[in-house]
A and B are shown apart, each in its own frame.
Chain A
Amino acid sequence: MSKILSQVQCRLMEALGASEQALEVRAAAQRLGLNQSPVAAAAVELAEEGLVEIKQEPYEEYSLGRKAQWDRQKGLPEAKLIEALAKAGGEAQIKELSEHCGLSGQEVGSSVRFLELKGWAERTAALLKLTEAGREAIGSKSADEQLLAVLSQAGRAMTDEELKAKGLDLAQAVRLLKPRGGWLSIKQRSRRMLSLSKAGTKALAEGLSYQEEINQLTPELLTEGKWRDVKIRPYDVSLPAARIQPGKGHPFARMLGQVRRVFLEMGFTQMSSSLVESSFWDFDALFQPQDHPARDMQDTFYVRRPSQSKLPDKQLVQRVKEVHENGGQTGSLGWQYKWDVDLAKKAVLRTHTTATTIRALAENPKGPRKVFGIGPVFRRETVDYKHLPVFHQVDGIIVDDSGSLASLLGTLDAFYRKMGFEKFQFRPAFFPYTEPSVEVFVWNEKHTDWMEMGGAGIFRTEVTEPLGCIEPVLAWGLGLERLAMFRLGLNDIRELFYAHLDWLEETPLCL
């Protein structure tokens, strides 16, 4: 016996010798009262010496995917669909099913495939027919639903053995859930099982001896000079290190920070305003007629408490009223209707950050000025992969006697270049409060198509004159979520606001 072993190596061999079964690295570390990494390193070294055998035992770890968590309450749509089919007398047009079961047409459409896969229904053209198997499945839980229920109940990841022990038909559940994407996450993992080799058993029987070898330099070894007497154990420098992640800012918050920096760099002053806003500032001051579809209950969140906001000084309100009704002093025809002051008082959740810039302009209408505001805005949308009731915008204005459409395009050009985009396009557009107006498009290589980013233009005279502003005001309001999704490669907008820590960990700071 001439091998020089370290203390950890010796202790590991003794522990393995004392155990009747092979030990997993974690279990061995526990017995030795050590961390896993020195034990794992010792095991690898001993295996190289032929004293220990390491066997990789693969296993699978199951956990709920993101969609399963977002739609946890809803569950899989098929159960509702077969019930609805049964109620409809065993068959129905796919188009009409959504009325019967409270699911959206899109959800119904995407579930048909799974009904067929489960053998619960057959489809001929647009007609869906319940099968015998489908009828029997009503009220009971299929393998995929069972698996989701068990995982949801456990609230943690589970191994395949654990799940099988619960009597689940795992193969069937996986077959049904995998094509759905996002519902189930399966990680391939392996355990390293350690046991003594024949040579190792023999060496242990012969008795082990070790030379004092140290892993870590201690202050004592250094101050007392003892380091001269010990051997500092060499490492296998090629071994990978444990993965650790730094604390991080949210990728979207960092992007909002970058947007802010870009405008500061271009000499803009930042402003903010309230999320609750009067219709006056959100719409009327921007010359949006009071019957404009954007002001509909359909699109805008109105507020019950506070139901009304106060209006600014009477003269300003009067000038805005006149400009709506007949153009006032602006030389415009106006919208030619009777303007209602009560509608202007109605409080809304602001629908754009233009409410911020128009307030800033009213406060000080004299150029030269450059102002911007970033923040959340609200539109009446239900939550799905493409929509949220809240999104972020950056609005800016330049009040300058020399301002022109050309300098508006130049400013937007500079902004998108600073944000790292090279291919973009400006097209004419129509907004109630700017004229001329322009829409910005950015090239999306992945979809090989132009993506709409937001609107801009020169504020109409009907907007600026009532505020006492006589210079051209270049203005823009750009959506930021799309920009973020584009840059971060996201397909689902919920990722930004219903964050998964693994996504935050995995997303590098350079994006």
Chain B
Amino acid sequence: MPVAALPVDVLLKLLPMKLGAKQLVRHLEQLGCDVEGYTTVGRYRCESCGTVLESTSSEQSPSVCESCGCDFRAETEKISQLDDVEVIRVELLSVRPDLFDPGGLARALRGYLGVQTGLAKYDMSEAKCSVQVDKSTRREKSRRPFIACAIVRGIELDETLIKIVMKLQENLHWALGRDRKHASIGVYDLDKLREGRFSYRTVGPSELSFVPLGMDEQEAANEMTPRQILQRHPKGAAFAHLLAGFDRYPLLADEQAVVMSMPPIINSQATRVRKETKNFFVDVTGTGQRVVNRALNIMVCDLMELCPEAVVEKVLIEYADGEITTPDLQPQQMSLDAAAAAKLIGVELSTGQVAQLLEKMGHGAEDSGGGKLKVSVPAYRNDILHERDLTEDVAIAYGYENIEPSLVKTMTVGQELAIEAARDIARQTLIGLGCYEVMTLPMTSAESAYEKLGLAQTQEYVEVENPISVAQTMLRTSLLGGLLETLSLNTHHDMPQQIFEVGRVTLLDKKSQTGASEYERVAVALTGSEAGFAQGRSIAESLAGQFKSQLTAEPLDNGLFTPGRGAKLLLAQADGKQKEIGRLGEIHPQVLERFKLSHSTVVFELDLEVLAKRLEAEP
């Protein structure tokens, strides 16, 4: 999960009471935020594009601009240092995007601490501007059909606030937009635009050109067509996959055809927000009306928390088949059974108390009779899908630390897996014989599992589609490779060495529901100048004996064992037939060499599940 670094002074200014660092962390944690701690970050401004950059250490300045790609090592005059800021680092909860910025957090804290409870009121003025949505945004090859917009007037910006708004936008892209796929947000300087009827339409790849964000407007050479942006601009290349297969691209512009942005890729440099910007135009485009509304609601509500003096103005969205007005801050109406909520939390609460707790979490709550509450969920909350989500809010407001832990009173009888008895017998026997238990990873590679052991790939194994390392590309089909790896890590240790592992191996199995089946095995490796077949056989026999089983052996020739010193281990079945349940042998010198082992080594591996079945047989 990404981490947000929120300026502490901005957050504290929005709270009516004084809070110490420790108290702040504790309250945030009790609200469900994962706080990593406080740090100081260094801040710089790219003089080329105006972006404020952050660096975790104030000594180390960024070497390139993350926005325009300006190389500060070549152009040292293009970067200037700003004041350091103290930040609180909070892990972002994708389900609570309303807590991504100091404004939203302050709102939640004021409620939780009982200073300002109930539904927050945000005043909006009626729509004066509109956005005309062209039908082509619904075509399959230029599809991004939904949009929601707002105008925010009277904002006072500084470097810190610009950064907060930019980060909120970025983090909403991650949490709600799934990296801009479902929703992407644009913020523009309204004063650079003609107010009136904006247009959201699509353009051909080379139909027009504009200067994308992060490039100097004065230079005509910086004008790029949509196609050029996708090929050459760093942001264009990074998000080009979102428009793959499109023959026309989404475009937002004003009445005078001043390009605002090419969603979901990039804004124009001409409309970018700077310190002097007083009025915002905000748009969210995406694949669904619900998601773009949510993202816009959070942007707008949290902007109003950050700049209480600002005024929001609605925007009329003219779709081909009807009109809507955004933002829509109507609360979502839900009903909650107060007694059921209290029972699920496991505390005694009256209907009135439940209502109060909901109000601490920013909901509106009215008693609608019969123990039911009519709950108004604020428009910035994205996570309330069900009555149960309200129950959780009640529990958080009540305080997890105030809940008295108890146990369910119902009596149940415990039962372990049948295989556990066999595992215990195997471990007890081998430990008694002086072996050390080891645990190795159940992932390996075909090279380690077969080639290194001199074995042919005769088994069908489970293969990973997206391995992260060449050493872990499949699930193990035997425990022997892991044991030999372990010995090879211990060549410096005194000889002799005796180790074992009890664990699962996995093989493909078309008949099983998942497509693979697992088998419990036990394997032993003995190394030292005296280690040999006979010693291995003795231990294998002794182990089988604990399961009332007697093993017989038949010659087995494979690359793993020294010729003439390898065997299949067989077990007589009830019907008199011999079933192969494992293998035993002295490791081939060639294999020992590959593992850098310098002593004779004997190993065996047995199917523990077959042995376990013997425990079920009659005594």
Contacts and interface: CB of A to CB of B under 8 A. Distances in A.
* Size category, B interface: 35 or more
Contacts of B440: 497-498
Contacts of B598: 155-156
A500 B486 CA distance: 8
A407 B466 contact: no
A376 interface: yes
Interface string B167-179: 0000000000010
Interface string A267-298: 11111101111100000000000010100010
Interface in B570-617: 596-598
Interface stretch (B14-22, B126-134, B319-327, B407-415): B407-415
Nearest to B413: A267
Max chain A C-beta neighbours (<10 A), residue from B395, B410, B497:
B410
B493 A306 contact: no
Contacts of B508: 305-306
B530 interface: no
Interface string B426-467: 010011111111111111000000000000000011111111
B345 interface: yes
Contacts of B346: 404-407
B122 to A, nearest CB: 23
B196 interface: no
A276 B514 contact: yes
A460 interface: yes
Contact of A248 (B436, B510, B513, B515): B436
Nearest to A276: B516
Contacts of B460: 305
A133 interface: no
Interface string A360-383: 000000011110000010101111
A274 B408 contact: no
A183 interface: no
B562 interface: no
B392 A504 contact: no
B96 A430 contact: yes
B347 interface: yes
What DSSP secondary structure best describes chain B's contact surface?
Answer: loop
A276 B462 contact: yes
B512 A270 contact: no
Given A157-B492, A247-B434, A275-B506, A304 B439 contact: no
Contacts of B514: 274, 276-278, 306, 309-310, 347
A436 B392 CA distance: 4
B88 to A, nearest CB: 16
B389 interface: yes
Contact of B437 (A253, A307, A312, A380): A253
A381 B73 CA distance: 34
A95 interface: yes
A365 B269 CA distance: 58
Nearest to B31: A428
B386 A460 contact: yes
B515 A309 contact: yes
A351 interface: no
A412 B462 CA distance: 35
Interface stretch (A12-20, A209-217, A229-237, A331-339): A331-339
B395 A436 contact: yes
Interface of B: 29-32, 34, 59-60, 63, 73, 93-96, 178, 181-182, 288, 290, 343-347, 383, 385-389, 391-392, 395-396, 400-401, 403-417, 420, 427, 430-443, 460-469, 471-472, 475, 485-486, 489-493, 497-499, 502, 504, 506, 508, 510, 512-518, 596-598
Q: Which 3 A-B pairs have the closest CB atoms?
A: A406-B346, A306-B515, A404-B346
